[in-house]
Chains A and B, each alone.
Chain A
Amino acid sequence: MMTLLNMQPSPQPDRPALKLAERTEYWMPPQASTVAEELDWLFFLIYWVSLFSFFAVVGAMIYLIWKYKATSRAANEQPEPSTDHNTTLEITWSVIPLIAVIGIFVIGFKGFVNMRTPPKDAYEIHAIGQKWSWAFKYSNGQVSDEFHVPVDTNVRVLISSKDVLHAFWVPAFRVKQDAVPGRYTDVWFNANTAGEYVLECAEYCGTSHSDMLAKVVVHEPGGFDKWMDEKIKLEEAMPPAELGELEYGRQGCKVCHSIDGTRLTGPSFKGLFGKQETLVGGGTVTVDENYIRESINEPQAKVVAGYPPSMPTYKGQLSDKRIMGIVEYIKTLK
């Protein structure tokens, strides 16, 4: 068995170097949102109540073992006479925990209602999950594979999924919400500490579930607009093929289409342009600008034989310019 073990962490080329942020507490990640403080307060309240209960039960158990341990069976010791029921005691140890849990429930309820009620003025961002990447869409149409938000701002995230269940989770913000195909779910937070954090998919979604991470950046005041402006400028000035490469990375294309000829869920982009492909159900097609555009908008229309019809549609999500960019990018992959 041991010879099969890689004792050294193996290199993981596709994975950005992500960290949860510097650790300050033993339990729970660093706090970076307004709800984090409230939630952690309750967490630690329960933590201390739990520790107390645990030591009360186990302490009593250990004390009783020590005090009343029998010497041997052969000694046939008889226990001291004692009662086998005590209603007052039973009621006491039912009512005290009951009061404790009611208190905890009420505090948790208030916190939950707050977490589930987004403020009216919140800035909206769409988070779209698909196997196995996230895309974040801003109100001006910009899309990013990193999650950028301004500090000290109420942000509401509208979450959706293109395929199976995923879950949007930023541990530092303490917010989590499932991405359910066919409907929108939402979550809100106010990030109050600038810095870099990590977003993780928390609902099991298959092969690369554990790599469905995204970088979260909370910008200092003014930093968010600057980032957005630079992003827009950069993309406007970009040659089409480069823009295509960018989209290839952040729209999730890379998850299923390799650029080095490796066979993944979909056909590799390497040498794809101009190629004759056989289709499911017979017929052939030459991969040209029109076929690529059609496959992006209506992926199930002409599926290449030997591949599953599993690509989600991107209809209405990519501007002409970006689609052209992807076509140009594929042309460069000879």
Chain B
Amino acid sequence: MAAPTTTADQVLDPHPTKEDNYFTAEKGVLSWIFTLDHKRIGVMYLCSVMTMFALGGLFALLVRIEHWTAGPTLDFVTPDMYNQFFTLHGAIMVFLVIIPGIPAALGNFVLPLHLGAKDVAFPKLNLMSYHMWLLGAAFLVLSMVLGAADTGWTFYTPYSTTTTTAVIPALFGAFILGFSSIFTGLNFMTTIHKMRAPGQSWFRLPLFLWAIYATALIQVLATPVLGITLLMLIVERGLHIGIFDPALGGDPVLMQHFFWFYSHPAVYIMVVPAFGVVSEIIPVFSRKRMFGYKFIALSSVAIAGLGFLVWGHHMFTSGQSVVASTIFSSITFLIAIPTAIKTFNWVGTMYKGRIHLDTPMLYALAFLWVFTIGGVTGIFLAVMNVDIHLHDTYFVVAHFHYVMMGGAITAFFGGLHYWWPKMFGRMYNEKQGRIGSIGVFLGLNLTFFPQFIMGTRGMPRRYYNYLDEFQDLHRLSTIGALLMGVSFLFTAYYLIASLRKKHDAPMNPWGATTLEWTTTSPPPYYNFHKTPPVTQGPYDGYEKLWYDEKVGGYIEKKKD
């Protein structure tokens, strides 16, 4: 395998052929498995993450269908299996889909391109991250075979240290995935520091990179705590050393502190990259510079920082002291502000623009709708006394699905459709793309909005059985989930169908001015034939581009 050397100013073959792209550069399965090319690693992450998304989605559908009636619905699903299903759904979606989704799959592909670089700073470490991800995923899948954990993705003690299910392999899987996440974060931070194109100052970075940078910061600082926590759980379970289990002299609430010290920042590992994707899409499809660039850029960093200081808002009912709860609640409110600033700036960007409603933009708009709901419902939960009532109900379930599914996944699909032509060199069927995105949007709202109502009325989460009065709302939710499932299948269908076509994607289908659109679709092995100099901001210069129908994309405007 010819490993590329990646000095920053290496000039490549000045006469590339049309077929000279990263797919054709090397051949064979091994050239994929051991590739050091960030684009190939990104594509492999993408395939793996999508597979896990399908699996996690399947468990979600099983959970939802089980709720069609109170008590048993599906003949083969016992209460214990139901508990395993929602645990697997949560663990898969969090650890294997959303956390790696945007940073590792899209980020790996886009980040060096955004910098005009040939690869990330440490290509071998990047490959190792992916291999560790696979290993972690393998342990999680193994735990399913051995007797899937039934603890919920939160692994609260002492339940998690006393259940008979295969908790240790699942914990070990999450532990390894944590390392993968830390390595990716380190790699991306270094790359952004060291490998920016000439002229690309920090405030000329695309907002996607600001978001990825803020995310990387959290990944590097918070994930080790998850590692320690999982290790302590493994030690307690395996060696019966009392840390969290009161029967052994431990403290179960301590486990919650450790867990949320990671898992609240992890919420921002999941959603800050989504902010980045939306920030890329909205100016391009509004044909206008981003409104309030610096506010959006710095608010990502503010969110990342504040995100470390709020973990105790998950524990208002745990017996935590009033003083602690008060501090956690007040800082939680502060996070609302940078989040609101972002939203207003995105909407402000559309003012006096020329708005094109293609699939990526539809996903970005869906994000604004859904994320606003996710955001404002967070206020209910940050208020201490209201949270006492709503804690551990379907209101919480609905809230974090509006943020995770509605925020992170919607933005992920927006980004996927936005960069798809660049990644694979093909345009998907635009009409089908729009239908798919509308289906996802409707299904999402139908699934999760009724859950807010149920939650306030008294429906606790993780309930196999429920009181009869909740049946109608549960059914609405289940119908929504099925609609979402169908829409995602449809999306998979037209995306895969597009791959069978000949290369037809232009260099710049959407008329963007970030660097990835100045190279061919798909890019050559070394990304750029010449390191591109940066002379303007990431959302400047739309007026210099011209849509050409013959090309099917944008080209530099000819001088009059």
In the complex, are the beta carbons of B384 and A12 less than 8 A apart?
no
Residue of B nearest to A55 (CB): B372
| Stretch with Cβ within 8 A of B (4 or more), from A110-118, A135-143, A322-330 | A110-118
- A121, CB-defined interface residue at 8 Å: no
Q: Which residues of chain A from 71 to 100 have a CB within 8 Å of any chain B CB?
A: 73-74, 76-82, 84-86, 89-90, 93-94, 97-98
**Interface residue from B150, B341, B463 paired with A206 (Cβ < 8 Å):** B150
Is the beta-carbon distance between B293 and A104 smaller than 8 angstroms? no
* Chain B 352-386 per-residue mask, 1 if CB under 8 angstroms from chain A, else 0: 11111100000001001100110011011011111
Residues of A within 8 A of B549 (CB): 74
B372 touches A177 (CB 8 A): no
With a cutoff of 8 Å between Cβ atoms, the chain B residues found around residue A259 in the complex are none
Q: Tell me the nearest residue of chain A to B457, going by C-beta.
A: A29
Q: How far is the CA of A73 from the CA of B355 in the complex (A)?
A: 10
* Interface SS, A side: mixed
Report yes or no: B319 in contact with A39, Cβ–Cβ below 8 A: no
Whether A206 and B163, one on each chain, are in contact in the complex, defined by CB atoms closer than 8 angstroms, is yes
Stretch of B69-77, B98-106, B177-185 at the chain-chain interface:
B69-77
Within 8 Å of chain B (Cβ to Cβ): is A6? Answer: yes
**B interface footprint on A1-18 (CB within 8 Å = 1, 0 otherwise):** 100111111101001001
Interface pair B71/A10, CB less than 8 Å apart: yes
Which chain B positions have C-beta within 8 A of A333?
none
Residues of B with C-beta under 8 A to A203: 156, 392
Q: Is A298 located at the chain interface by the 8 A CB criterion?
A: no
Q: B206 to nearest A CB, angstroms?
A: 15
**Known contacts A108-B385, A206-B163: does B368 contact A57 (CB below 8 Å)?**
yes
Interface residues on B, range: 35 or more
How many A-B Cβ pairs are below 8 Å? 293
**Does any Cβ of B come within 8 Å of A228's Cβ?**
no
**Does A280 have its Cβ within 8 Å of any Cβ on chain B?**
no
Closest to B381 in A: A46
Q: Is the CB of B460 within 8 A of A202?
A: yes
**CB-defined contacts of B391 to chain A, threshold 8 Å:** 176, 202
- Bound-complex Cα distance A210 to B80 (A): 11
Closest approach, in angstroms, between the C-beta of B323 and any C-beta of chain A? 10
Which of A12, A20, A97, A211 counts the most B-chain CB atoms under 10 A from its CB? A97
* In the complex, B447 has a CB within 8 A of chain A: no
A126 part of interface (Cβ distance < 8 Å): no
Q: Please, which residues of chain A bring their CB within 8 A of the CB of B317?
A: 167, 176-178, 202
Closest-CB distance, A174 to chain B (whole angstroms): 4
A262 touches B (CB below 8 Å): no
Interface presence of A208 (CB below 8 A): yes
Asked whether, in the complex, the Cβ of A115 is within 8 Å of the Cβ of B365, the reply is no
Q: Of the candidates A47, A84, A201, which one forms a contact with B291 in the assembled complex, judged by CB atoms under 8 Å apart?
A: A84
Q: Are A43 and B456 in contact (CB under 8 A)?
A: yes
B72 and A82: CB pair below 8 A? Answer: no
Q: Answer yes or no: A227 CB below 8 A from chain B CBs.
A: no
B204 in contact (CB, < 8 A): no
If A70-B355, A78-B287, A101-B336 touch, whether A27 touches B453 (CB-CB below 8 Å) is: yes
- Beta-carbon contact of B286 and A175 below 8 Å: no
Contacts of B290 in A (CB 8 A): 84
CA distance A28 to B158 in the complex (A): 31
- Across the interface, name the chain A residue whose C-beta is closest to B471: A9
The answer to whether B275 has its CB under 8 Å from any CB of chain A is: no
A60 at interface, CB cutoff 8 A: yes
**Complex interface: chain A residues within 8 A of B384 (CB):** 108-109, 111-112
Asked if A207 contacts B80 (CB within 8 A), the reply is yes
Could you mark each residue 508-549 of chain B with 1 if its beta carbon is under 8 Å from any beta carbon of chain A, else 0? 000100000000000000000000000000000001001101
Are A43 and B392 in contact (CB-based, < 8 A)?
Answer: no
Question: Whole-angstrom distance between the alpha carbons of A206 and B152 in the complex?
Answer: 10
Query: If the complex has contacts A82-B288, A105-B333, are A6 and B75 also in contact, measured as CB distance less than 8 A?
Result: yes
Q: How far is the CB of B471 from chain A (nearest CB, A)?
A: 7
Residues of A within 8 A of B393 (CB): 202
Interface centre among B152, B162, B372, B453 (most CB of A within 10 A): B372
Tell me how far the C-beta of B397 lies from the nearest C-beta in chain A, rounded to whole angstroms: 12
Q: In the complex, which residue of chain A has the Cβ closest to the Cβ of B375? A: A53
- Which of A5, A18, A205 meets B159, CB within 8 Å? A205
A65 is an interface residue with CB less than 8 A from chain B: yes
Give chain A residues whose Cβ lies under 8 Å from the Cβ of B224. none
Contact residues in A for B453 (Cβ distance below 8 Å)? 26-27
Q: Which residue of A lies closest to B389 (CB)?
A: A174
Q: Which of A19, A73, A97, A167 contacts B336 (CB 8 A)?
A: A97
Question: Within 8 Å CB of B47, what residues of A?
Answer: none
Assess whether A4 is in contact with B75, with CB atoms less than 8 Å apart.
Answer: yes
Whether B292 and A18, one on each chain, are in contact in the complex, defined by CB atoms closer than 8 angstroms, is no
Q: Which of B73, B159, B382 contacts A164, CB < 8 Å? A: B159
Chain A positions within 8 Å of B456 at CB level: 27-29, 43
Which A residues touch B372, using CB under 8 A? Answer: 53-54, 57-58
Task: For residue B290, give the distance in angstroms from its CB to the closest CB of chain A.
Answer: 7
CB B399 to nearest CB in A, in angstroms, measures 11
Find B383's partner among A5, A8, A108 (CB 8 Å cutoff).
A108
B95 at the interface (CB under 8 A from A): no
Question: B306-329: which have CB < 8 Å to A?
Answer: 316-319, 322, 325-326, 329
Which chain A residues border B345 with CB–CB below 8 Å? 90
Contact of B158 among A12, A165, A177, A201 (CB under 8 A): A165
State whether the Cβ of A307 lies closer than 8 Å to any Cβ in chain B: no
| B331 CB, nearest partner CB in chain A, Å | 10
For residue B320, give the distance in angstroms from its CB to the closest CB of chain A: 10
A50 adjacent to chain B (CB < 8 Å) = yes
Closest chain B CB from A161 CB (angstroms): 9
With contact pairs A85-B291, A176-B391, A180-B252 given, residues A70 and B356 touching in the complex (Cβ less than 8 Å): yes
Q: Which residue of A lies closest to B468 (CB)?
A: A9
CB-contact partner of B289 in A84, A86, A113, under 8 A: A84
A68 touches B71 (CB 8 A): no
Check B457–A209 contact: CB distance below 8 A: no
Q: Which one of B69, B289, B383 contacts A10 once the chains associate, using CB atoms below 8 Å?
A: B69
Contacts of A54 in B (CB 8 A): 372-373, 376
- Say yes or no: A19 contacts B467, CB within 8 Å: yes
Query: A35 vs B385: C-alpha distance in the bound complex, in angstroms?
Result: 9
Q: How far is the CB of A18 from chain B (nearest CB, A)?
A: 6
Please determine whether A97 and B326 come into contact, CB atoms closer than 8 angstroms: no
Contact partner of A93 (CB less than 8 A), chosen from B75, B288, B341, B468, is B341
Contacts A57-B372, A85-B294 known; A112 to B340 CB distance under 8 Å?
no
Q: Which residue of A lies closest to B318 (CB)?
A: A178
Q: Are B353 and A79 in contact (CB under 8 A)?
A: yes
Q: How far, in whole Å, are A58 and B347 apart by their CA atoms in the complex?
A: 9
The docked-state distance in angstroms from the alpha carbon of A192 to that of B469 is 24
Q: List residues of B whose CB falls within 8 A of some A CB.
A: 65, 68-76, 79-80, 83, 150-152, 156, 158-159, 162-164, 246-247, 251-253, 286-295, 316-319, 322, 325-326, 329-330, 333, 336-337, 340-341, 343-345, 347-348, 350-357, 365, 368-369, 372-373, 376-377, 379-380, 382-386, 388-389, 391-393, 453, 456-458, 460-469, 471, 511, 543, 546-547, 549
28 residue pairs bridging A and B, Cβ less than 8 Å apart: A1-B65, A5-B65, A6-B69, A6-B72, A6-B75, A35-B385, A39-B386, A43-B380, A57-B343, A58-B372, A61-B350, A69-B357, A70-B354, A74-B549, A78-B354, A78-B543, A84-B293, A85-B294, A89-B348, A104-B333, A112-B326, A176-B392, A180-B252, A180-B319, A198-B467, A203-B392, A207-B80, A209-B462
A78-B543, A94-B340, A176-B392 provided; 7 other pairs, C-beta below 8 A?
A46-B376, A50-B380, A79-B287, A84-B291, A172-B458, A176-B391, A209-B464
**When A and B form their complex, which 6 residue pairs have the shortest distance between CB atoms, in order from nearest?**
A182-B246, A171-B458, A111-B385, A108-B383, A112-B384, A50-B376
